[in-house]
């Protein structure tokens, strides 16, 4: 019954993620719910094909959920926001240098043609 309820939760999560995702998002549809579904499939096939000890993998589900909650709240959005702001300023600097190099190459090509 536990595996059935976890399968239902993961399936609903995958569908919800697919429905409400940003169209420009290139990550895999499903996110953590897809990982949960993979663990459930591993447990089901492992218990049928090899050993009932695969049920012990169910202990990883609350551990993974706890880690997800911890990283969401205690992981700090302020830290992530600061890193994002720093990385965006670095990428604009890199973009500017790349644009300058392209401009120089284009000028050299024009000079060779003339």
The whole model's pTM is what? 0.54
Q: How confident is the model at residue 89 (pLDDT cuts 50, 70, 90)?
A: low
Residue 65, both tokens? 């959920």
- How confident is the model at residue 21, as a pLDDT? 79
3-state SS of the chain is CHHHHHHHHHHHHHHHHHHCCCCCCCCCCCCHHHHHHHHHHHHHHHHHHCCHHHHHHHHHHHHHHHHHHHHHHCCCHHHHHHHHHHHHHHHHHHHHHHHHHHHHHHHHHHHHHC
Q: What are phi and psi of 25, to 5 degrees?
A: -75, 120
**How many CA atoms lie less than 13 Å away from 10 in the CB half-sphere?**
19
Q: What sign has the CA pseudo-torsion 61, 39, 12, 24?
A: positive
- pLDDT tens by residue, 22-73: 777 777 777 778 888 888 888 888 888 888 888 888 888 888 888 888 888 8
Greatest CA separation for the chain: 78
């Amino acid at each position: 019954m536990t595996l059935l309820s976890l399968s239902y939760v993961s399936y609903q999560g995958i569908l919800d993620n697919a429905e409400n995702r940003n169209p420009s998002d290139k990550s895999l549809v499903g996110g953590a719910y897809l990982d949960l579904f993979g663990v459930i499939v591993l447990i089901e096939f492992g218990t049928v094909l090899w050993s009932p000890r695969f049920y012990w993998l169910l202990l990883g589900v609350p551990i993974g959920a706890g880690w997800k909650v911890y990283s969401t709240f205690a992981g700090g959005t302020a830290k992530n926001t600061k890193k994002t702001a720093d990385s965006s300023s670095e990428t604009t600097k890199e973009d500017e240098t790349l644009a300058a190099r392209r401009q120089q190459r284009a000028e050299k090509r024009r000079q060779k043609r003339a």
